[in-house]
A and B are shown apart, each in its own frame.
Chain A
Amino acid sequence: DAMVIQNPRYQVTQFGKPVTLSCSQTLNHNVMYWYQQKSSQAPKLLFHYYDKDFNNEADTPDNFQSRRPNTSFCFLDIRSPGLGDAAMYLCATSRGQSNEKLFFGSGTQLSVL
């Protein structure tokens, strides 16, 4: 059974049209992460939550926001998607913040037209 679930699997949006990607987990993990991965590149951490504490990476554009309404769910909001935001978005969870195994979802492939 999938433990980290991302919806939708594929998302197409228009340039400048807000879009929300969702992630849920059944592991009851404290930490949830959002990564952006472009083709043939390493995943890049955008931000993470430790419980309700939000941690933004210094180089994450302001265009990207996140919400975590409860332990199980986390959302990635892209306020005004640009062509350069087309990528695979990966959600991951871990029990703790350091030295812990990460569990990834299947990802959402975002296309921007």
Chain B
Amino acid sequence: KQEVTQIPAALSVPEGENLVLNCSFTDSAIYNLQWFRQDPGKGLTSLLLIQSSQREQTSGRLNASLDKSSGRSTLYIAASQPGDSATYLCAVNQANDYKLSFGAGTTVTVRA
């Protein structure tokens, strides 16, 4: 069974600092890995999707890397802003399966 872990559970940084969020998974047989953002009491917004054959994806200030063999992904957010405060969840799409396995998320607070 796929297990997805995100450490730390919470993170607080001053505005302008770069954010590094970690995700690890136990089974490397995946189709893709997705990073989502969730604001309090809201649904999930997809940020980046990395296919299993890719090493990284970039969108604006966000960059996500994937090391499938070691079961790790990292989400980098450059020059953080208070508006980046949210919970960030990673999820892996298991090969030969339809399910997304989610981590519990890292809650980020960016202090002005």
User: Within the assembled complex, what's the spacing in Å between the Cα atoms of A54 and B104?
Assistant: 26
Contact with A along B20-53 (1 / 0, CB 8 A): 0000000000011010100001111110010100
Per DSSP, chain B at the interface is: strand
On whether the beta carbons of A90 and B89 are closer than 8 Å, the reply is: no
Beyond A42-B89, A99-B51, A101-B49, whether A90 also contacts B43 by CB under 8 A is: yes
For residue B26, give the distance in angstroms from its CB to the closest CB of chain A: 14
Contact with A along B75-112 (1 / 0, CB 8 A): 00000000000000100010011111011110100000
On whether the beta carbons of A45 and B99 are closer than 8 Å, the reply is: yes
For residue A111, give the distance in angstroms from its CB to the closest CB of chain B: 12
Q: Which of A31, A45, A55, A107 meets B43, CB within 8 Å?
A: A107
On whether the beta carbons of B93 and A104 are closer than 8 Å, the reply is: no
Q: B93 — nearest CB in chain A belongs to which residue? A: A99
22 A-B contact pairs sorted by A residue (CB < 8 Å): A4-B43, A31-B98, A40-B9, A41-B104, A42-B103, A42-B105, A43-B44, A45-B99, A45-B100, A50-B98, A98-B31, A98-B93, A98-B96, A98-B97, A99-B31, A99-B51, A99-B93, A102-B44, A103-B46, A104-B44, A106-B42, A109-B41
The residues of A with any CB-CB pair to B shorter than 8 Å are 4, 6, 31, 40-43, 45, 48, 50, 55, 88, 90, 92, 97-107, 109
